[in-house]
Amino acid sequence: MAEEMKDFKEVNKGLSEENAVLEALRCMNCVIPHCVKGCPVGIDIPAFIQKVAEKDFEGAAAVIKADNMLPAICGRVCPQESQCEGECILAKKEKPVAIGALERYVADREREHGTKLPAVAEPTGKRVAVVGSGPAGLTAAAELARFGHKVTVFESLHEAGGVLTYGIPEFRLPKAIVKAEIEQVKALGVEVRLNHLVGRSVPVEELLGYDAVFLGTGAGLPYFMGMEGENLNGVYSANEFLTRVNLMHANCFPEFDTPVKRGCKVVVVGGGNVAMDAARVARRLGAAVTLVYRRREEDLPARAVEVKNAHEEGVEFLCCANPVRVVGETAVEGVECVRMEMCEVDASGRPKPTCIEGSEFTLEADVFIEAIGQGPNPLLVSMIPGLERERRGNLVVDEDGRTTVARVYAAGDAATGAATVIWAMGSAKKAAAAIDKALKEE
């Protein structure tokens, strides 16, 4: 494990061909495949797995790509345990079929052996603007391009991928793989315009001049706890910390120009996948890391495998505690926390944490990272007249992703609030189908 701590190489090395075939042979090829229902993009899982069992890897890739243009990414970051694998009939008896690992194997193998693009329909002459190049935007773009529409993606950063590029670290999702899958989407005829912030570089009137608009702007606005000392030097949002490292390669400073405070003692607050990512990145930058979470360890919303990896990499977990103040003169010197007790179960089925009065204690720290969640960035949506949002700032959409403005659709985190990559893709796929239907009816 010490070896992995030094670098950002991928932790999970993936299946060998032999193991992939053996694993595929475990699939029962159910008549009513519940696994497919568990997949938000509806991949024909038994069909691709049968092809793996027959060693027809090209065929397997074609089956997957009929429904999902980002399989190497999904195979790595989907929470399969609560989706396809959670529904697998074998999950009830022993272990579910490792669908995620097989999807990843097929995608990685195809990338190494030369990729084949799925068919693209005849051009329809319709133009669709996609705002944001994260999982939702890329999925919508790929689907719409395959339906024959001319798709332009607007991305404000200098690289495409959204959270796949700036959020999820290299050791979970190698950037070369993200780039390769984005190239596949572009090869379908999708134009990606980087460095274009819609609403600023592209006026809203210009955007609304397209035949349809898809908003996949995500939930990139970081929440801060709003406590004393939060603006001291060394306090980061997880978004900033991860962007500096993942997008700007601050781990390679000064070869790359962007710096990051590495810290000797880092405290991270939060319990989701973003918190795990931030903690594991901080470990790789050489710090002793404590993760503070207000509920119990069994309540952690992060994927079990991420929690396990974080433990193995030496992240200390301090559960039933919550920061109340950042201590320091000009820079962070410590984080004052309070212990929490679990009271009655709340509406979400989780225990409600309550501060234990007088239990304050201070953790020594020189870097403090807040990973308590993100909301939708309000900038663009505030500029489109008539676009309604619900209380938490998410866009109001119907089942097919229609917003309150005609011809404008939205999906992914912008519509649902921060969720998973695959949920964003699933909702984007539905919206793309609805856009296609609407455009063809015109």
Partner 1 sequence: MYQVEEATQLSENVYQIWVNAPQVARHARAGQFLIIRVDETGERIPLTISATKGDSVRVIYMAVGKTTELLATKKKGDVLADIVGPLGTPSEIKNYGTVVVIGGGVGIASTPIIAREAKEAGNHVIGIIGARNKDLLILEDEMEEVCDELFITTDDGSKGVHGFASTVLEDLLKERTIGCVWIVGPAIMMKVTSRVTIPYKVKTFVSLNPIMVDGTGMCGSCRVTVGGETKFACVDGPEFDAHQVDFDSLMQRQRMYVDEEKEAREHFHHHDHHGGCGCCGGKH
Binding region for partner 1 (CB under 8 A): 156-158, 194-197, 200-203, 220-222, 224, 226, 230-234, 237, 239-240, 243-244, 248-249, 251-259, 261, 330-331, 377-379
For residue 234, give the 3-state DSSP assignment.
coil
* Closer of 22 and 252 to partner 1 (Cβ): 252
How far is Cα 20 from Cα 216, in angstroms, rounded to an integer? Answer: 34
* Closer of 223 and 317 to partner 1 (Cβ): 223
Catalogue the E-assigned strands of 230-333.
235-237, 265-269, 288-293, 316-319, 321-327
Residues 179/112, Cβ–Cβ less than 8 Å:
no
For residue 293, give the 3-state DSSP assignment.
strand
* Closer of 202 and 282 to partner 1 (Cβ): 202
Cβ 347 to partner 1, closest distance in Å? 29
Kindly report the backbone phi and psi dihedral angles of residue 436, in degrees, each rounded to the nearest multiple of 5, phi listed first.
-60, -45
* Closer of 89 and 247 to partner 1 (Cβ): 247
Cβ 322 to partner 1, closest distance in Å? 19
Cβ 258 to partner 1, closest distance in Å? 4
DSSP state of 247: I
Cβ 378 to partner 1, closest distance in Å? 8
Kindly report the backbone phi and psi dihedral angles of residue 48, in degrees, each rounded to the nearest multiple of 5, phi listed first.
-70, -35
* Closer of 187 and 197 to partner 1 (Cβ): 197
Cβ 331 to partner 1, closest distance in Å? 8
Integer-rounded Cα Rg, in Å, for the chain is 22
- Alpha carbon 192 to its chain's center: 20
Compute how many other C-beta atoms are within 10 angstroms of the C-beta atom of residue 46: 19
- Say which residue the tokens 């790595």 belong to: 76
Cβ 197 to partner 1, closest distance in Å? 6
* Closer of 239 and 427 to partner 1 (Cβ): 239
